[in-house]
Chain A
Amino acid sequence: MSTSVIPPTTSVAPPALGGTRSSGGGQRRNPVLRGLFYLILIVLAFYLLFPFYWAIRSALIPESAAGNTPVEYWPSDATLSNFGDALTGGILKLPLINSAIVAGSVTLLSLVIGASAAYALGRIQFRGRTIMMYAILSMTIFPQIAILGALYTQFSKWGLINSEWSLIISYLIFTLPFTIWVLQSFFRTMPRELEESAYVDGASPFRTFWSIMLPLAAPGLVTTGLLAFINAWNEYLYAVSFLQTADHFTVPVAIVEWPPSTGSQFAVPWDHVMAGTVIVTVPLIVLVLIFQRRLVAGLTAGAVKG
């Protein structure tokens, strides 16, 4: 799609890290519109962040004060003891590691397997391509509960119950088709000229994929990786069905099964659950933010060079 005056190497912009683009957002030099713009941003940020603030606030009061009215937006006797308990109690230590292993493996495997499959489906014409696409998608359409029983039987046979591998494998059923579909749409939008000039230069199809197309799909890789990671991190149903002992729990299970203050099944230690949720969310966001920035910068720096 490039015009003839612009050389191919600059025809795909680095993802808007350093770029200044106004892609339909309106003239931002106009102060009224600018003000409106920021107002909308603030309302949006409030909507997104308020429940998280509420979680923090709920973690600052003891369990039995949870429903006290009138509602206090900042608790009058805030206490850090719930955070203290959550951090020192050892409840989250192993689950954090387990979740990191599971989510990390799922993401890595999805990206590696998915990117190759997506390139094949998105760039190369071959007979049966469409059928493949739909076959891959159809694997993921069944509701989780429907295949849970059969998956459990299968994993029992393989001795994978109470192992992280049961989760890694079963999450792939849902993340792989998604990754493939998203990445193939990315690969599709890339100009043909890139491959053509590579072939003219003598590159094999695989080298073209590895050194040229893959780096250019960086935004897609980062995004699908991120979504795969967070999906795997948050999943609950399979985690609670396949994992049995507390040392194998992932984070969602550990939080839901947080030890209550009485032995009764009905008491949910809301204060600790909120503290645990906050503790787990903050590093996750920081990590993801750092990771996202670094990776995108790194990958595209390579691509823009001549």
Chain B
Amino acid sequence: MKHRFIIAPITLGLAAVVSILPALPAHVHAATRQSALTAATISAPPVPNAAALMKKYGSKGITLTYVGDAVGLGHNRDLILAAEFTKDTGIGVNIIPQPVASTDSYSQKVRNFQAKSSAFDVMMIDVVWPGAFAPYLVDLKPYFSAAAIKQQAAGIVANDTVGGHLVAMPWFGDFGILYYRTDLLKKYGFSQPPKTWDELTSMAKTIQAGERKSNSRFSGFVFQGNAYEGLTCDALEWLASSGTPNFVVNGKADLNNPKAIAMLKLAQSWIGTISPRGVTTYQEGDAQVAFTSGNAAFERNWPYAYALNLATGSKVIGKFDVTTLPAEAGSQPVGTVGGWQLAVSKFSKNIPASVEFLRYMTSPAAEKFNAIYAGLVPTMASVASDPQVLKAQPYLKPAIANVMRVTRPAGIFGVNYTKASQVIFQGINQVLNGSDPSSIVSGLDTKLNAILAQH
């Protein structure tokens, strides 16, 4: 063959690679690669009312379809818990991993409900979807005692209660926290992390100016500024910690107030000064990489980044810590709630059995397993204070874990939440890119109120 001198080396190279495969230093098997924090030495908890369930369902040959976590540790956790459930109760569980991108995952559920399909019995619901999916989900209140519901985080339960019906059960949570460089705070003479946004701004300025002398790429503060749902989360934290409790208060959007405008002006001032110009295109990964590589003094992100900052290759091992986000004087620090719930579809053909599966998965024991095995933030205070969980997730110490949670106004917008959120993050992104905050917020008010009126 004419081009054997191209093909042959490539083929030889491939053969060489394949032959040294067995000797390659692989980490723990990719699908179960654990984070730098968790140890995989925990087994699935038994089902509490196993005997009764086995008696009732064991011989019926039921198989539920559960749309669970995306491929990876989350999916493996689902497999382990589902296997235990089947073993103890005789109810089979068929697991479908959901797509990793949230629009794809949302569309997957939407199509199922629009077709009134019985294909999915139990499913994972993002914290902002209960309002949209409420008409299609089973009310869980009749199936749970008041005490059991009280065990769950009150704020998230309120988020999941639409029109008096509890349509989803909290399962694992997430909330915004502030990552900061302990070594740099010491170096520039700051005794503690910033308590107010103004303090953060000035501390970041000082640190950045000092660090830029040796590292031209250093930035003071990185966060999620791209025009996507994450910006809604960040912006909610800014506003709720500076006197505007939420985008919609008492059924009305009133962002056109001096406190909100002042806060947004402050955020706008960060771009190009303490935050890189490109922060308006940053999502979680971009901010995390900036901090992990040692190029940022402060970062706003979810708890997941903690383990990544400790993993091999990180430049901030032993040099960082986390705390609650700053708040303006007169306001409390807050964290926007992220995370997932479990829900049962109204079109399911096995509602009681599905509810039992849901009960097991959202029980304290299963949440503890989840927290240790997959490193996901538990929603129950009792689980969060368990010493084993604290070891796996150090950022759950009470000072941080008890921060006030704010939820995005998904319930009040219902099926229009994605539309409302898009309006919000597009507007805030424009402010970050230089548009005048006053005109943007008055536009936001008009649009959000129009959407509310429509609902």
Contacts and interface: CB of A to CB of B under 8 A. Distances in A.
Interface in B30-47: 30-31, 33-35
B54 interface: no
Contacts of B30: 85-86, 88-89, 91, 258-259, 272
Contacts of A266: 284-285, 288, 302, 304-305
Interface stretch (B142-150, B152-160, B310-318, B436-444): B310-318
Contact of A81 (B24, B99, B292): B24
Given A262-B308, A263-B376, A79 B25 contact: yes
Interface string B350-386: 0000000000000000000010011110000000000
Contacts of B284: 266
Contacts of A270: 285
Nearest to B307: A262
Nearest to B72: A259
Nearest to A276: B30
Nearest to B284: A266
B215 interface: yes
A267 interface: yes
For A266, A267, A286, the residue with the greatest tally of chain B CB atoms inside 10 Å of its CB is: A266
A273 B388 CA distance: 32
A214 to B, nearest CB: 24
Nearest to A243: B99
A267 B376 CA distance: 12
Contact of A261 (B111, B309, B311): B311
B26 A84 contact: yes
B10 interface: yes
A259 B293 contact: no
Contacts of A89: 26, 29-31
B304 A259 contact: no
Contacts of A63: 308, 311, 313
A243 to B, nearest CB: 9
A91 B293 CA distance: 28
Contacts of B35: 261-262
Given A64-B313, A149-B111, A263-B77, A69 B27 contact: no
A260 B313 contact: no
A166 to B, nearest CB: 13
A286 B14 contact: yes
B453 interface: no
A79 B29 CA distance: 16
B3 interface: yes
Given A64-B311, A67-B295, A85-B30, A263 B24 contact: no
Interface residues of A, number: 53
Contacts of A258: 30, 71-72
A246 B97 contact: yes
A153 interface: yes
B340 to A, nearest CB: 9
B119 to A, nearest CB: 9
A7 B276 CA distance: 70
A49 interface: no
A27 to B, nearest CB: 25
Contact of B308 (A80, A88, A267, A290): A267
Contacts of A81: 24-27
A156 interface: yes
Contacts of A152: 111
A272 to B, nearest CB: 6
A241 B107 contact: yes
Interface residues of B, number: 69
Nearest to A88: B26
A68 B293 CA distance: 4
A293 B3 contact: yes
Contacts of B25: 79-81, 84
B100 interface: yes
B199 interface: no
B7 interface: yes
Interface string A46-72: 000000000000000111111111000
A269 to B, nearest CB: 8
A289 interface: yes
Given A258-B72, A261-B308, 18 more contacts: A69-B293, A80-B25, A83-B24, A85-B30, A87-B21, A88-B30, A245-B97, A257-B70, A258-B71, A261-B33, A261-B35, A262-B307, A262-B374, A263-B73, A264-B303, A264-B304, A282-B14, A289-B3
Interface of A: 17, 61-69, 79-81, 83-91, 149, 152-153, 156, 240-241, 244-246, 256-270, 272, 282-283, 286, 289-290, 293
Interface of B: 1-3, 6-7, 10-11, 14, 17, 21, 24-27, 29-31, 33-35, 69-75, 77, 96-97, 99-102, 104, 107-108, 111, 115, 117, 174, 215, 217, 284-285, 288-290, 292-295, 302-305, 307-309, 311-315, 370, 373-376
24 contacts: A61-B313, A64-B312, A65-B293, A68-B294, A68-B313, A69-B215, A69-B295, A83-B17, A84-B24, A85-B26, A86-B30, A88-B30, A256-B101, A260-B72, A260-B73, A262-B73, A262-B307, A264-B304, A264-B375, A265-B100, A266-B305, A268-B285, A286-B11, A293-B2
